[in-house]
Structure 1
Amino acid sequence: MSEESAERTLLGEAPEFTAAQVAEHAGLSLERARKLWRILGFPEHGDEAAYTRADADALRVVASLLDEGVISFDVALNVVRGVGLTMARLADWEVGELAHLLEGRYAEEAEAASVQPATWAIERFGPRFEELLLYAWRSHLNAAVVRVQAARAIDSDPHTTDLSVGFADIVGFTALSNEVTRERIGELVEIFEARCADVINREHGRLIKSMGDAVLFVNDDAMAAFTTAEGIINVIGRDPRMPDVRVGLATGGVVMRMGDVFGPPVNMAARLTQVARRNRIIVDHATADALPKDLIESRPLPPRPVRGFGVVEPVAVRRA
Structure 2
Amino acid sequence: MTGSDPVEDGPAGDLPGPDDLERAILGQTPAFNAQDVVERTGVTIDEARRLWRALGFPEHGLEAAYTDADTEALATLVGVVRSGMIDFDLGVNLTRAVGQTMARLADWEVSTLLHRVDEMADDAASGGDTEAGRTGSALRLIGEMNGPFEDLLIYVWRRHLAAAVARVEALRANEDDLNTVPLTVGFADIVSFTALSNTLAEDRIGDLVELFESRCADVVATQRGRVIKSIGDSVLFVSDDPVGAYAIAEGIINVVGRDPRMPDVRLGLASGSVVMRLGDVFGPPVNLAARLTAVARRNRIIIDAATAQLLPADQFETRRLPARPVRGFGIVEPVAVRRT
Q: TM-score, normalised by structure 2?
A: 0.90
Instruction: Say whether residues 1:83 and 2:83 are aligned partners.
Output: no
CA distance in 2, matches of 1:91, 1:110: 29
CA distance in 2, matches of 1:14, 1:134: 24
In structure 2, the partner of 1:304 is 324
Q: SS of 1:179's equivalent?
A: coil
Q: SS of 1:243's equivalent?
A: coil
| Aligned counterparts, 1:38-77, within 5 A | 38-77=53-92
Q: SS of 2:272's equivalent?
A: strand
- Aligned amino acid, residue 81 of structure 2: L
Instruction: Say whether residues 1:24 and 2:44 are aligned partners.
Output: no
CA distance in 2, matches of 1:127, 1:2: 22
Q: CA deviation at 1:83?
A: 0.9
| Aligned counterparts, 1:156-175, within 5 A | 156-175=176-195
In structure 1, the partner of 2:203 is 183
Q: Give the 4+ runs in structure 1 shifted more than 6 A.
A: none
Q: CA deviation at 1:8?
A: 2.0
CA distance in 2, matches of 1:204, 1:302: 33
In structure 1, the partner of 2:276 is 256
Q: TM-score, normalised by structure 1?
A: 0.96
- Aligned amino acid, residue 95 of structure 2: V
In structure 2, the partner of 1:316 is 336
Q: CA deviation at 1:194?
A: 0.6
CA contact (8 A) 1:40 1:85 kept: yes
CA distance in 2, matches of 1:222, 1:308: 23
CA contact (8 A) 1:110 1:117 kept: no
CA distance in 2, matches of 1:164, 1:115: 47
Distance 1:182 1:3, change over 3 A: closer
Q: CA deviation at 1:244?
A: 0.7
Task: Give structure 1 stretches of 5+ with no counterpart.
Answer: none
CA contact (8 A) 2:18 2:135 kept: no
Q: CA deviation at 1:119?
A: 2.1
CA distance in 2, matches of 1:287, 1:187: 33
CA contact (8 A) 1:28 1:63 kept: yes
> Match for 1:287 among 307, 310, 317?
307
CA contact (8 A) 1:149 1:158 kept: no
Q: CA deviation at 1:142?
A: 0.6
In structure 2, the partner of 1:138 is 158
Distance 1:4 1:184, change over 3 A: closer
> Match for 2:265 among 239, 245, 257?
245
Instruction: Say whether residues 1:10 and 2:25 are aligned partners.
Output: yes
Q: SS of 1:227's equivalent?
A: helix
Distance 1:112 1:197, change over 3 A: closer
- CA RMSD, 1 decimal: 1.7
How many residues in Structure 1 have an aligned counterpart in Structure 2?
320
CA distance in 1, matches of 2:116, 2:57: 27
In structure 2, the partner of 1:36 is 51
Distance 1:301 1:112, change over 3 A: closer
Distance 1:113 1:170, change over 3 A: closer
Q: SS of 2:302's equivalent?
A: strand
- Aligned amino acid, residue 13 of structure 1: Q
CA contact (8 A) 2:117 2:134 kept: no
Q: CA deviation at 1:24?
A: 2.5
CA distance in 2, matches of 1:295, 1:110: 65
CA contact (8 A) 1:209 1:215 kept: yes
Q: CA deviation at 1:112?
A: 6.0
CA distance in 2, matches of 1:170, 1:110: 44
CA contact (8 A) 1:111 1:117 kept: no
Distance 1:248 1:13, change over 3 A: same
Task: Give structure 2 stretches of 5+ with no counterpart.
Answer: 1-15
Distance 1:194 1:24, change over 3 A: same
| Aligned counterparts, 1:77-116, within 5 A | 77-105=92-120, 108=124, 111=131, 116=136
Q: CA deviation at 1:117?
A: 1.3
CA distance in 1, matches of 2:70, 2:203: 37
Q: CA deviation at 1:270?
A: 0.6
Q: SS of 1:168's equivalent?
A: strand
Q: SS of 1:241's equivalent?
A: coil
